[in-house]
Amino acid sequence: ARERLGPRLDDCLGRLSTAARMLVDLRYDQELPVQEIAQRLGRSPSAISVALFRIRDQLRDCLGPEIAG
């Protein structure tokens, strides 16, 4: 799926705020657990989880029908 969505996903990631891209990097590229991200950023784990949920929602909206098939 990543190969198929690569360029489009990169475009959608580029539309995110700097803070959102940093969270995506920490969680999915560096594979850090939410708890560790929260500690590093001085935020609660629930705040990080909510932020990641909203980011995934933004990415789904941006990718649209491309992720359905």
Task: Output the pTM of the full model.
Answer: 0.85
How many other C-beta atoms can be found within 10 angstroms of the C-beta atom of residue 60? 13
Packed helices 34-41 and 45-63: angle between N→C axes, nearest 10 degrees = 110
pLDDT of residue 64: 87
Confidence at 4, pLDDT banded by 50, 70, 90 = low
Q: What is the pLDDT of residues 12-55, one digit of tens each?
A: 999 999 999 999 999 999 999 999 999 999 999 999 999 999 99
Structure tokens at 59: 């990415």
pLDDT for 46 equals 98
CB 67 within 8 A of CB 5: yes
Instruction: Please tell me whether residue 36 adopts helix, strand or coil conformation.
Output: helix
Half-sphere exposure of 52 (CA within 13 A, CB side): 19
Q: Does position 2 have pLDDT exceeding 80, yes or no?
A: no
Residue 33 pLDDT: 98
Q: What ranges in 15-44 are assigned the alpha helix state H?
A: 18-24, 34-41
